[in-house]
Amino acid sequence: MADALDSNTLPQATLTPPRRSRISAIWLIPLLAAAVAIGIAVNRILNEGPTISILFQSAEGVEANKTIIKYKDVKIGQVTAVELHQNYSKVMVTARIDKHAEGLMVEDAKFWVVQPQVTLSGVSGLSTLLSGNYIGFEMGKSSKPQRHFTGLKVAPVIPIDQPGREFELTASDLGSVSVGSPLYFRRLQVGQVMTYQLAPDGNSVSISVFVNAPFDHFVSAQTRFWNASGVDVSLGDGGLDVRTQSLVSLLVGGIAFATPSSAVEPAPATADTTFVLYADRATAMKQPETISRHYVLYFTESLRGLTVGAPVTLFGLPAGEVADVGIDIDPATTEVRGRVEIVAYPERLVSDMHTEQSSSAQAMVQNPEQSHAFFQRLVMDRGLRAQLRSGSLLTGQLFVAFDFFPDAPKAEVDWGPKMPVIPTVPGTVTNLEDKVSDILAKVDKIPFETIGSEVAQTLLALNEAIKDIDKAVNRIDKGVIPELKPAISAVRSAMMSADRVLKNTDATLLGKDAPGQLELRDALQEVSRAARSLRVLTDYLERNPSSLIRGKNGEKP
């Protein structure tokens, strides 16, 4: 082959000076690749946050590599493993925390599972319906790092960075107050009950309440707290007095507070002040009496309806109360008469006086001799007498009223051996039971128990439905869910209208046709309808999961 060619006829290559060979620039490519890969690896290692473990009683809806940990709605970590722990009684969740959140993993940090929840005080975690459950996080105050935590069953009531203050209340019993019960100031919700516990001696219950800023400013040393649960219907001499805070407090309990207008020092209370939780507003707002005087009244009429504690009034203003009711027999004349012992609080009247005079009046009250003499003059010259009057429209209760009867026969205060006896005049007790029974019937008609159980049942059904949806949504991973949206917004609007009605109802509860009740019923029906339709949708989705993408058969998606 080779000799067939005449190599001399082939063109000759031209020669140029040789180039110096050196290490090829091509090696820059692997160097660059290595540099980038190492850079990424180093970056990963440097940004690797701590791995923590959280022990839960149950970790519903928590999945490895899917569930995230959120703080203030910002992702701070991801669950890497979920496994049973401690004799299979608990769930151990392992999570990798992002580097930027490493400093949050301190001793008293809190974790809990967030899932959709319908409670009497509101709907929470609705967003988890679509995104799946996540683990909520609340930072602690400690600075000691920790890697092993115990999860909470429910989210903490008050976020740790919520401004405000905590106060301690003591009560004889818990009543219907529970964790999360609202705290009202002028019917405005300004806080919540955080915890409660039995006192070590078992004689009282101590309740921790949290008052949000800036309302904590209104809690002074003289502030009174009372149990605002339920309807406070009092039939005093002032007529029918119905006080409720809200229907929510009727159902879940609540506490209200106020500072008496006579409080002299409205400085904010210190955080460690302990308050007494009174049973109701009237008890709470009662003034502590420093000066009390006992008097005896004799009546010849029936004392039926006059009880210990019944008010004693002067010019219609509260001036004292009945301390004892009994009978008295005069041995000489064998005359039987009613004996009523009253306690008068002269300071109460002084506090009602005009400011210019109150200081001299106060001085007179402080001096018993002077006040006795003044009292005697009122009785003798002006005709001051005690009289029994019908106070309560409902029960025919009596109270003692002081009034001026200039035409009454002359009498004077008998400074008896023990207590002064004040002259009386016969009362004019009129029976107003007809009027009263009307009001009573109306109050009777309010179906508090039915309302309560209806609300509870509906909420329960709704919660179940929401859980079903939650499961369905989780199962249809990454699905596109066009049908679910209107259903969920229908539930949300129904629940919002129920909530609005719940808030408005107490104002109209005692109206003529009680429209609040009707509205409430409508709203509750709306909520249960929405819950029902959600359930139907869930069932349908379970049978036809593909309809999420294609829509129902025969329908355009």
Partner 1 sequence: MAAALTAAQAGLIGCEHCGLLVRAASADEPGHCPRCGSPLESRRRQSIERTWALVIAAAICYIPANLLPVLGTTTLGSTEYDTIMGGVVFLYTSGSWPLALIVLIASVMVPLGKLIALGYLLISVQRRSSSSNRERTRLYRMVEFIGRWSMLDVFVDTFTVALVQLSPLMAVSPGPGVMFFAAVVVLTMIAATTFDPRLIWDAGGEPESRIG
Per-residue contact string for residues 67-106; x = within reach of partner 1 by CB under 8 A: -x--------------------------------------
- Residues in Cβ contact with 59 at an 8 Å cutoff, skipping those fewer than 6 apart: 82, 91, 93, 113, 151
Rank residues 23 and 264 by Cβ distance to partner 1 and give the closer one.
23
For partner 1, the binding residue among 53, 55, 66, 291 (CB under 8 A) is: 66
Output DSSP code: residue 343: E
The sheet carrying 74-85 orders its strands as: 110-114, 134-138, 68-71, 74-85, 90-97, 51-56, 148-150
| Count of residues of this chain found to bind partner 1 when the rule CB under 8 A is applied | 33
The Cα-based distances of 471 to 232, 494, 533 in angstroms read 43, 22, 16
Q: How near is the Cβ of 531 to partner 1 at its closest, in Å? A: 22
Rank residues 31 and 441 by Cβ distance to partner 1 and give the closer one.
31
Distance CA 306, CA 320 (A): 14
For partner 1, the binding residue among 317, 480, 518, 536 (CB under 8 A) is: 480
Q: How near is the Cβ of 18 to partner 1 at its closest, in Å? A: 5
For partner 1, the binding residue among 4, 14, 334, 407 (CB under 8 A) is: 14
Please name the helix (run of DSSP H) or strand (run of DSSP E) that holds residue 293, with its range, or none. strand 293-299
Under 8 Å between Cβ of 528 and 458: yes
Rank residues 258 and 481 by Cβ distance to partner 1 and give the closer one.
481
Identity of the residue numbered 217 = H
For partner 1, the binding residue among 144, 153, 354, 478 (CB under 8 A) is: 478
- What is the Cα gyration radius of the chain? 39
For partner 1, the binding residue among 4, 20, 24, 418 (CB under 8 A) is: 24
Window of 22-30, 196-204, 211-219, 528-536 that interacts with partner 1 by CB under 8 A = 22-30
33 sits near partner 1 (criterion: CB under 8 A)? yes
For partner 1, the binding residue among 47, 57, 58, 65 (CB under 8 A) is: 65
Q: How near is the Cβ of 284 to partner 1 at its closest, in Å? A: 47
Under 8 Å between Cβ of 226 and 207: no
Under 8 Å between Cβ of 100 and 43: no
Window of 36-44, 193-201, 403-411, 461-469 that interacts with partner 1 by CB under 8 A = 36-44
Distance CA 198, CA 206 (A): 6
Place of tokens 């699905």: 479
Rank residues 12 and 143 by Cβ distance to partner 1 and give the closer one.
12
Apex 517 CA angle, 515 and 522, nearest 5? 95
Closest by CA to 336, choosing from 290, 288, 303, is 303
The Cα-based distances of 400 to 147, 344, 378 in angstroms read 70, 11, 17
Q: How near is the Cβ of 129 to partner 1 at its closest, in Å? A: 9
For partner 1, the binding residue among 32, 432, 507, 518 (CB under 8 A) is: 32
16 sits near partner 1 (criterion: CB under 8 A)? yes
4 sits near partner 1 (criterion: CB under 8 A)? no
Rank residues 377 and 492 by Cβ distance to partner 1 and give the closer one.
492
Window of 62-70, 196-204, 450-458, 509-517 that interacts with partner 1 by CB under 8 A = 62-70
For partner 1, the binding residue among 61, 77, 125, 132 (CB under 8 A) is: 132
Under 8 Å between Cβ of 515 and 505: no
Distance CA 320, CA 317 (A): 9
* List of E strands, 177-282: 182-185, 188-198, 205-212, 224-227, 232-236, 239-243, 255-258, 274-278
For partner 1, the binding residue among 4, 20, 29, 334 (CB under 8 A) is: 29
Binding site for partner 1 (CB under 8 A): 1-2, 7, 10-16, 18, 24, 26-27, 29-30, 32-34, 37, 40-41, 65-66, 68, 127, 130-132, 477-478, 480-481
